[in-house]
């Protein structure tokens, strides 16, 4: 997977100032990275690979733990004054926003997130982490301490050649609205919660 850095700018946040780096793929996909400090000095850097979740990240949905995970990653990186968040535009485990809303409607009928995706004809998780690996390489990140609970993400990045020297647990609090979702992530995806 090839990516190119298309734009860089400053992004002031409640957690401190990040550098916002825009990437493009040859197929026209757009992704971003939020970076702080000297992340390309060859030393292990705290990193999060986060898939876009409009409902959780921007609309504060409590159906998932995405928004709190993103916020916690920004706080942890700001506390270290160094790190990077690779933000992938692959909404709804890679099925897109409208299909994610359709999956939510199936979940409203009692299905879990895996069953909802499958009944709509999708894989339980269609995300691709090769672009994340390409973004890290473009940023000259040599070693990461990966903020994740997802063993598939860890394996995918290792398989793509990223030197993950540590998995850093990334647990956030559950709510009554997302407990079933978190249970499904543990039981069906093997998330380390």
Measured CA to CA, the distance from residue 55 to residue 154 in angstroms comes to 24
41 catalytic residue (yes or no): no
Catalytic residue among 57, 65, 112, 125: 125
Instruction: Say if residue 167 carries a ligand binding annotation.
Output: no
CA atoms of 103 and 106, how far apart (whole Å): 5
Is 82 within any annotated ligand binding site?
no
9 is in an annotated binding site: no
Tell me if 49 is assigned to a ligand binding site: yes
- Spatial distance between the Cα atoms of 185 and 83, rounded to a whole number of angstroms: 26
> Any known ligand binding at 51?
yes
Please tell me the distance from the alpha carbon of residue 44 to that of residue 81, in angstroms, as a whole number: 13
Active site residue 102: no
Considering 57, 102, 127, 167, which one is annotated as catalytic? 127
- 175 among annotated binding-site residues: no
Alpha-carbon gap, residue 48 to 80, rounded angstroms: 13
Annotated binding-site members for Zn(2+): 53, 64, 66
Annotated binding-site members for GTP: 48-52, 69, 91-93, 113, 148, 153
| Enzyme catalytic residues | 125, 127
């Amino acid at each position: 997977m090839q990516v190119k850095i298309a734009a860089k700018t400053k992004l002031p946040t409640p957690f401190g100032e990040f550098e916002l780096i825009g990437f493009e793929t040859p197929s026209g996909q757009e992704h971003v990275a939020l970076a702080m400090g000297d992340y390309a000095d060859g030393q292990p850097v705290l990193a999060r690979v986060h898939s876009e979740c409009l409902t959780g990240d921007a609309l504060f949905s409590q159906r998932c733990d995405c928004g709190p995970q993103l916020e916690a990653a920004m706080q942890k990186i700001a506390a270290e004054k160094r790190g990077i968040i690779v933000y992938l535009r692959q909404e709804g485990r890679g099925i897109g926003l409208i299909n994610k809303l359709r999956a939510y409607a199936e979940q409203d009928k009692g299905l879990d997130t895996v069953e909802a995706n499958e009944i709509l004809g999708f894989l339980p998780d269609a995300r691709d982490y090769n672009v994340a690996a390409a973004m890290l390489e473009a940023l000259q990140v040599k070693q990461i301490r990966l903020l994740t609970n997802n063993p598939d993400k860890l394996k995918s990045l290792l398989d793509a050649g990223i030197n993950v020297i540590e998995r850093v647990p990334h647990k956030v609090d559950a709510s009554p609205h997302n407990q079933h979702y978190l249970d499904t992530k543990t039981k069906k995806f093997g998330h380390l919660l």
